[in-house]
Structure 1
């Protein structure tokens, strides 16, 4: 399939619209194998004007560098007092973490993810922000929610099991 320039298309369309020649004679005059492109160009010109004769991209568009990912929320500028309160909150969280770790594991090794999720859950119950807890504990948010869901479903199943047997 031959590609034709925008100027060439405009020339043929204006020549057709002036009434000098028809589709077939224009195709023969300019050595085109078919009259169909000329018909398409005239139709495009009548509906969209010169914009309809401009070349357009075909196929799948390439991936742009600017994807439509939601931008991270910019944290608002905190005052000095708010920064100190935030730092104090994180320090309280870090101080309460070893106490929780001791309750789950006597050795000072790494806790499994399930135990880390339990620690994070308990810290959340004490009123700390989940984002801060996960930062200090060092587990991804998805892992936390996975283990918490398993814990809650386990409790629901246990409660159902206990209530299903009469005393």
Structure 2
């Protein structure tokens, strides 16, 4: 459950925008310990309106390439998590922070989707796991390795293109991203 309701956030944001109180006084009035939280709410509200303050009900799955693009953009431009989230039309900057931490620990493989939930409690669980690992043929292992190398190669090419001409790369990336977002919105 969310700590603050959508109505509460909206009330605080509107009170700030009316100009009666500043961030610190609002935080004190409503018992919010982090002044930065109110700043984030106001910024998200200005960018996305009331929908930016809503908690997402369904978990959105992002492709690995988008995660890499977001992290690369943030690294190259020095943008904060909040700025990057707004540019990529996301209302959860902590998600980007999690991607960054995972990428630093585990690399590209860490950004790939993982199975969720608890494993089954069968007695033969360890034996099944060993069998599954052995069942990967040499060809399948090579295909997996090729896919990982393709992803790494793609990332390195984009990084090189960005380093050579950051403005052109960002424009191209922005245009491509806008065309993808229009396709999603047209459904």
Please confirm whether the aligned pair reaches a TM-score higher than 0.5, indicating the same fold.
Answer: no
TM-score range, shorter chain: 0.3 to 0.5
Q: Between Structure 1 and Structure 2, whose CA radius of gyration is higher?
A: 1
- TM (normalized to structure 1)? 0.33
